[in-house]
Amino acid sequence: MAATLQGRKIAFIVTDGFEQAELTSPKQALEAAGAQVDIVSNKAGTVQGMNHDQKADAFKIDRVLDVVDALEYDGLMLPGGVVNADAIRLDKKAQSFVKAIQAAGKPIGVICHGAWLLISAGVVEGRTLTSWPSLHDDLRNAGAKWVDQEVVRDGNWVSSRKPDDLPAFNKELIVLMAEAPERIAV
């Protein structure tokens, strides 16, 4: 039986410059499994996607970090993209959101450069994950074990390297989200 995510609510944290496939592919997979997905950002309006270094589509923001509570969500997804990841990692509200999700033991999916936010939030020490290869020094210096694999599962986290890994990543992301306890609606 396929995993079902009916009733699950997943936050995708991004700002301008995210790798579009790393948002759209997991978002479509999660929604096809029944999850509600919100694009959460540090700004209102829209965010600009990228296909590597070329502008792609703009996406409507569903929620803004200033007014969102991490505990409204059953899980978190962090797409990559160098510009996105380098900017969002400095946002204190994004860091707090990540810390709250991690403290609650909720599932976190991360791909490519998205791991920079996990580093800046101070939650990678002792974890095993993968990322775009250029982040391996950053992750190791922050106390993580970096491995070069298509998909890595470590407890409540699943990580992947790049858009080519999305089919395997999406499959494991759905399993991870389905295994987690559902949040209690208030």
Known catalytic residues?
A: 112-113
Instruction: Give all strands (DSSP E) within 52-176, no chain letters.
Output: 54-60, 63-64, 75-78, 108-111, 128-129, 145-146, 151-154, 157-160
Half-sphere exposure of 125 (CA within 13 A, CB side): 5
Q: Say how many residues make up the chain.
A: 186
Query: CA 63, CA 47: separation in Å to the nearest integer?
Result: 12
Of 109, 122, 91, 96, which is closest to residue 151 (Cα–Cα)?
109
**In the block, which residue shows the tokens 């295994």?**
179
Of 13, 4, 6, which is closest to residue 100 (Cα–Cα)?
13
Alpha-carbon separation of residue 83 from 11, 32, 151, 176, 178 (angstroms):
19, 28, 23, 27, 30
